[in-house]
Structure 1
Amino acid sequence: MFMTAITSFFVSSTFMAAFWMKIAQAVILEYTAAGILVAETEEETYERQAKPYPTDPAIGIYLTVAYSATLGAMLSPFQDPNGQIYTTLKPLISVDPAGFLLLYAVPLIFGFIVIALWINMIFLGLFWGETKDMVREAAQSKDYINQTIANKKDNMGPWTTHSILTLLLIIITAILLFTRMPLLWTGWDDQIPVVNCGASVPIILMSLFFFAVPANYMFCRYYCCRQPQKEGTAPALVGWKIVNANTPWGHLFMMGAGGAFLRGYKDSKLMDLVNQTIARQGYSSTTCAVLASLLGTLLTSIAPATFVANIVLGSLVPLGIQMGVGKGGLAVPFAASVHNQFLLPVSTTANTLVSGWGNIRPFQFLLGGIVPALFMFIFLGVFSALFSSSAYKGI
């Protein structure tokens, strides 16, 4: 949990959620093979020949990865959605990126506590249920688990060229994402004046390398040093079949539908209608803050926070001025609320990947995220009211 959050602070939360999710799945697979943990249920799937549904302990581990990535990104000045919030509000409000650390530090701590307790209660049997017995038995097998890990390490042997090259490209990808557009200093994306590249550009670039770089040194030996007796192809680090099998296409389309909803929310003038309806009511500053938090939480549950901040956030600054509650009266609580990304698989791209890879159904995400979302709504709202001046000057 802490490793996912710490790494997500520095590098894209989606990237780190994917990284730690695969590690979690590999560990659970080994525990299952050793008879320590049951990872899949015998419940009949909705579609024939579909992937089996995970057990509650596996769901708890997967959701912990997704939520920890969201918490780490909430505090970070190095990535979205804070990057998008900064870009959107900078022409309108004086924003101090370092102030995000103070603004979200306490909600981060409280969020860790709530998520740890809730996930343990619902999915890991903290107080009751058969799951509690399963987890207790797994905990009592600590020595056996360590021996299983040691045996697996011995069986795998030394690192292969494929493993070394793959890890090297993963590290390069992380560095590119970290240095793309950090808000505390000038990044490489800031040096490109024509267009904002976004996080997808380094991901696509490194994906090309994963497809192009051969998986062993034999390619260099035979094709660069001397002509082979029989020409042929060398396997790449990642092949299309692996990518296709590991891409949750349905979940990605569902997330795209959330983005389409937000675009329609703006282009259909529904956003203007909602804004003007709020303006006509003449609400107080406290009521405006609550409404903005509710609106941000609702929209972020439907689509990722970066989409929400990009499309909706900028319209709330002039609306706040029009209502007499200041530039940040609506924009600041709304910006805080877009970090409340726990409710659904489409709430953030990290949730989407974890849901797809883990075969977690939406109602399970809803069950796991309802209490964290409720508490984070309160934490983010209260502390954005108390410490908003640390990140937003002159509001």
Structure 2
Amino acid sequence: MVLLKTTIRHWEGCNPGFMMGWSDALHLDDVKSSSIVFLAVVILFALPTQYTFFKYCCGSAPFTGRAMDACLSWTFIHNNMPWGLCFLIGGGFALAEGSKVSGMAKMLGQSMAFIESTPRDVVIGVTIVIAIACTTFSSNMAVCNILTPVFCEMALAVKIHPLLLTLPSTLAMSFAYLLPVSTPPNAIVCGYANIKTKYMAVAGILPTLLGIVLLWINAVTWGAVIFPDTKDFPDWANEARLF
């Protein structure tokens, strides 16, 4: 519990944004949130489960010949760590970075410039449908990391506020109701409950259709009320188009 609270305090004070954090004060620009977690894990590997080890720190021989169990062991991590989920999330970020560095996101977004004359509400609906169609056959984490940069470039190409395309499409990527591969929770439920793919697909048709309609209606109505600045193409987006 003490180690957990210490880790949280270091997270909060690393780079809070509104004030100088300890990483800024020590000029540790490469220290991220993951570094703090890894340090906490290393400490758990080193700390014994019993406090009796203190008497051997400054004591004299003879010492016990039996190794004390640590708070964390590799066997426990190997058996309980969701490795598939780690690779899934990490792979999604890797795909997003690869599409950005290679220029694929920019190329795909600019290729949609021909719909510039299409009504804005129709473009929003198209992005919602594309997002749901893609997340049906792939993990929503990977799809979100790939499509979000594409929709940003698409918004710049057709001169629409990027939030109008990225926010509804990001919410749409959570409508993964049709297949087990759509999202890890679907796969977990199908595995434990022995649900066949066809039954999940049939049960997910109506929620998916309702999600498309309701999300589109809210995006074109309440979206303009909550985010009034999205009516016009922002100046900062014009500057982004120059690069």
Larger radius of gyration: 2
CA contact (8 A) 2:100 2:149 kept: no
Whether 1:308 aligns to 2:144 is yes
Structure-1 residue corresponding to 2:172: 337
TM-align CA RMSD: 4.5
Between the aligned partners of 2:165 and 2:94, the Cα distance in structure 1 is 24
Secondary structure of 2:70's aligned partner = coil
Aligned mate of 1:386, from 204, 216, 221: 221
Shift of the 241–300 alpha-carbon distance from structure 1 to 2, 3 Å rule, reads same
Q: How does 1:222-301 map to 2 (within 5 A)?
A: 222-227=55-60, 229-232=62-65, 233-250=67-84, 252-253=86-87, 256-259=90-93, 261-262=95-96, 265-266=99-100, 270-282=104-116, 283-298=118-133
1:319 to 154, 161, 167: 154
**1:197 aligns to 2:27 (yes or no):** no
| In structure 1, distance between residues paired with 2:15 and 2:174 | 19
Kindly report which structure 2 residues correspond to 1:1-395, keeping only aligned pairs within 5 A, or say none. 167-173=1-7, 188=21, 191=24, 194-195=29-30, 197-198=32-33, 200-220=34-54, 222-227=55-60, 229-232=62-65, 233-250=67-84, 252-253=86-87, 256-259=90-93, 261-262=95-96, 265-266=99-100, 270-282=104-116, 283-298=118-133, 302-303=138-139, 305=141, 308-309=144-145, 312-340=147-175, 344=180, 347=183, 351=185, 355=188, 367=200, 370=204, 375-388=210-223, 392=227, 394-395=229-230
Q: Is the 8 A contact 1:259 1:307 kept in 2?
A: no
TM-score, length basis structure 2: 0.62
Offset of 1:238 from its aligned partner?
A: 1.2
CA 1:330–1:273 in 2, change beyond 3 Å: closer, same or farther?
Answer: same
Kindly provide the amino acid, as one letter, of the partner of residue 227 in structure 1: S
Measured in 2, the distance between the counterparts of 1:229 and 1:242 equals 31
Distance 1:181 1:344 in 2: 38
Residue identity in the other structure for 1:197: K
One-letter code of the match for 1:244?
Answer: H
1:250-281 alpha-carbon deviations (Å, 9 max, x no partner): 45445555555555655665534532343213
Decide whether the 8 Å contact of 1:211 with 1:238 is kept in 2: yes
Q: Is the 2:135–2:176 Cα contact (8 Å) retained in structure 1?
A: yes
Is the Cα contact below 8 Å between 1:333 and 1:384 reproduced in 2?
yes
Q: 2:23, 2:126 → 1: CA distance?
A: 34
Amino acid in structure 1 at the alignment position of 2:37? I
2:7 and 2:114 mapped to 1: Cα distance? 48
Moved more, 280-289 or 320-329: 320-329
Contact 1:254 1:346 in 2 (8 A): no
Which residue in 2 is equivalent to 1:38?
none
Aligned counterparts of 2:226 and 2:19: Cα–Cα separation in 1: 19
Deviation of 1:244 (Å): 0.6
For residues 314 and 292 of structure 1, what CA distance do their matches in structure 2 show?
A: 13
For residues 29-63 of structure 1, the C-alpha deviation after alignment (integer angstroms, 9 at most, x for no partner) is xxxxxxxxxxxxxxxxxxxxxxxxxxxxxxxxxxx
State the alpha-carbon separation in 2 of the partners of residues 189 and 269 from structure 1.
36
Percent identity of equivalent pairs: 17
CA contact (8 A) 2:88 2:141 kept: no
Aligned length: 220
Matched-pair contact (CA < 8 Å) for 1:293–1:377:
yes
**What is the match of residue 24 of structure 1?**
none
Could you tell me which runs of 5 or more consecutive residues in structure 1 were left unpaired when the two chains were aligned: 1-166
Q: Give the whole-Å Cα distance in 2 for the aligned partners of 1:227 and 1:384.
A: 72
* Cα offsets for 1:35-92 (capped at 9, x unmatched): xxxxxxxxxxxxxxxxxxxxxxxxxxxxxxxxxxxxxxxxxxxxxxxxxxxxxxxxxx
Q: Would you say the 8 A contact 1:293–1:337 is kept in 2?
A: yes
What CA deviation, in whole Å up to 9, does each residue of 1:332-364 have, x standing for no partner?
32344345466656747xx49x939x8678967
**Whole-Å Cα distance in 2 between the matches of residues 258 and 284 of structure 1?**
31
> Can you give the 5+ residue segments of structure 2 that lack an aligned partner in the other structure?
231-243
